[in-house]
Structure 1
Amino acid sequence: MKFKILFCGALLSGSLLIPGTLHAQEPKEPDQVALANDEFENNFFEALKQKGIENYDKAIKSLEKCLAKDPQNAVVLHELGKNYLSLKNYPEAEKAFLKARDLDPNNRWYWQSLYDVYYETKDFNKSIPVVQKLTEWRKQYYQEDLVSLYMYTQQFDKALDLINEMEQTVGMSEKREMYKLQILSDSKYRKPQKETLEEAIKKNPKEESNYLELIYLYSESNQEQKAQEVAKKLEKEIPGSDWAQVSLFKFNLNNNDGKKAAESMFRVLDSKKIDRKIKHRVLNEFLIYASNNPQYMGDLDKAVGYFEDDKQVNVPKEIGKFFFSKNRYPEAIKYFERGLIQKPDDIETVELLLYTYTEAAQYDRLLKKSEEYIELYPTQARLYYFAGLASNQQKQYPKAKHYLETGIDFVVEDPELELKITKQLVDTYTALGDNKKKNEMAQRQAKLEKSKSN
Structure 2
Amino acid sequence: MKGKVWIIRAFSLGILLFSVVSFAQTEPDSIAVAKNEFEEHFFEALKQKGIENYDKAIPELEKCLKTEPNNPVLYHELGKNWLALKKYPEAQRAFQKAVDLNPKERWYWNGLYDVFYETKDYPQSIVVVQKLIEFDKNFQDDLVSLYMYTRQFDKALALIEEMERTSNISQMMETYKLQILSENQSKKPEKEQLEAAIVKFPQVEENYIQLIYLYSESNQEEKAMEVARKLEKNIPNSDWAQVSLFKFHLNNGNGEKAAQAMHLVLNSSKIERKIKHRILNEFLIFVNNTNTFDKELDKAVDYFDDDTSVNVAKEIGIFFLNKKKSDKAIHYFEKSLLKQKDDILVIELLLEAYAEKNQFDKVSRKAEDFLELYPTHARLYFYAGMAQNQMKNYKKAIGILNSGMDFVAGDIDLEINFNIQLGEAYNGLGDQTKKYTYFNKAEQLLKQKK
Interval of TM-score (by shorter of Structure 1 and Structure 2): 0.5 to 0.7
**Counterparts in 2 of 1:311 and 1:230: CA distance versus 1, 3 Å:** same
Summarize the alignment of residues 211-226 of structure 1 with structure 2, pairs less than 5 Å apart. 211-226=208-223
SS of aligned partner of 1:369: helix
**Counterparts in 2 of 1:183 and 1:277: CA distance versus 1, 3 Å:** closer
> Distance in 1 between the 2:288 and 2:430 partners?
47
Q: Higher relative contact order at CA 8 Å, sep ≥6: structure 1 or structure 2?
A: 2
Q: Is the 8 A contact 2:175 2:274 kept in 1?
A: no
SS of aligned partner of 2:293: helix
Q: Is the 8 A contact 1:408 1:421 kept in 2?
A: yes
Q: With structure 2 as the length reference, what TM-score do the two structures score? A: 0.58
SS of aligned partner of 1:295: coil
> Deviation at 1:376?
0.8
Amino acid in the other structure paired with 1:316: A
The answer for the alignment partner of 1:206 in structure 2 is 203
> Distance in 2 between the 1:335 and 1:261 partners?
22
**Counterparts in 2 of 1:405 and 1:293: CA distance versus 1, 3 Å:** same
**Counterparts in 2 of 1:184 and 1:435: CA distance versus 1, 3 Å:** closer
**Counterparts in 2 of 1:209 and 1:332: CA distance versus 1, 3 Å:** same
> Distance in 2 between the 1:242 and 1:354 partners?
40
The answer for the alignment partner of 2:366 in structure 1 is 369
**Counterparts in 2 of 1:186 and 1:283: CA distance versus 1, 3 Å:** closer
RMSD of aligned Cα (Å): 2.4
Amino acid in the other structure paired with 1:330: D
The answer for the alignment partner of 2:167 in structure 1 is none
Does the alignment pair 1:415 with 2:430? no
Residue 230 of structure 2, aligned match among 220, 229, 233: 233
* 1:91-147 C-alpha deviation (Å, 9 max, x unpaired): xxxxxxxxxxxxxxxxxxxxxxxxxxxxxxxxxxxxxxxxxxxxxxxxxxxxxxxxx
> Distance in 2 between the 1:180 and 1:404 partners?
50
> Distance in 1 between the 2:205 and 2:177 partners?
19
Amino acid in the other structure paired with 2:239: D
Does the alignment pair 1:352 with 2:349? yes
Does the alignment pair 1:278 with 2:275? yes
> Distance in 2 between the 1:336 and 1:195 partners?
50
**Counterparts in 2 of 1:401 and 1:272: CA distance versus 1, 3 Å:** same
Instruction: Please identify which structure carries the higher helix content.
Output: 1
Does the alignment pair 1:396 with 2:385? no
Q: Is the 8 A contact 1:290 1:297 kept in 2?
A: yes
Residue 429 of structure 1, aligned match among 413, 416, 426: 426
> Distance in 1 between the 2:431 and 2:274 partners?
57
Amino acid in the other structure paired with 1:248: L
The answer for the alignment partner of 2:53 in structure 1 is none
**Counterparts in 2 of 1:179 and 1:298: CA distance versus 1, 3 Å:** closer
> Distance in 2 between the 1:324 and 1:193 partners?
45
> Distance in 2 between the 1:246 and 1:405 partners?
55
**Counterparts in 2 of 1:178 and 1:374: CA distance versus 1, 3 Å:** closer
Amino acid in the other structure paired with 1:438: K
**Counterparts in 2 of 1:183 and 1:402: CA distance versus 1, 3 Å:** closer
The answer for the alignment partner of 1:298 in structure 2 is 295
> Deviation at 1:333?
0.9
> Distance in 2 between the 1:450 and 1:230 partners?
65
Amino acid in the other structure paired with 1:342: K
Does the alignment pair 1:307 with 2:307? no
**Counterparts in 2 of 1:210 and 1:358: CA distance versus 1, 3 Å:** same
Q: Is the 8 A contact 1:384 1:407 kept in 2?
A: yes
Does the alignment pair 1:185 with 2:220? no
> Deviation at 1:399?
2.3
The answer for the alignment partner of 2:166 in structure 1 is none
> Deviation at 1:181?
6.5
Q: Is the 8 A contact 2:382 2:401 kept in 1?
A: yes
Amino acid in the other structure paired with 2:240: W
> Distance in 2 between the 1:354 and 1:266 partners?
32
> Deviation at 1:436?
5.3
Q: Is the 8 A contact 2:426 2:435 kept in 1?
A: yes
> Deviation at 1:180?
8.2
Select between 378-387 and 194-203 the one with higher mean Cα deviation: 194-203
Q: With structure 1 as the length reference, what TM-score do the two structures score? A: 0.57
Residue 240 of structure 2, aligned match among 239, 243, 256: 243
Select between 280-289 and 381-390 the one with higher mean Cα deviation: 280-289
The answer for the alignment partner of 1:172 in structure 2 is none
> Deviation at 1:437?
3.9
Amino acid in the other structure paired with 1:341: L
> Distance in 1 between the 2:443 and 2:230 partners?
70
> Distance in 2 between the 1:418 and 1:442 partners?
12
SS of aligned partner of 1:317: helix
Amino acid in the other structure paired with 1:305: D
Aligned residue pair count: 278
SS of aligned partner of 2:306: coil
Tell me, which stretches of 5 or more residues in structure 2 are unaligned?
1-160, 162-173
> Distance in 2 between the 1:179 and 1:331 partners?
31
> Deviation at 1:433?
5.3
Residue 337 of structure 1, aligned match among 334, 351, 356: 334
Residue 383 of structure 1, aligned match among 380, 384, 387: 380
> Distance in 2 between the 1:210 and 1:412 partners?
61
Amino acid in the other structure paired with 1:186: N
**Counterparts in 2 of 1:203 and 1:389: CA distance versus 1, 3 Å:** same
Residue 264 of structure 1, aligned match among 245, 261, 265: 261
Amino acid in the other structure paired with 1:187: Q
**Counterparts in 2 of 1:388 and 1:180: CA distance versus 1, 3 Å:** closer
Amino acid in the other structure paired with 1:226: K
Residue 445 of structure 2, aligned match among 429, 438, 448: 448
Q: Is the 8 A contact 2:423 2:439 kept in 1?
A: yes
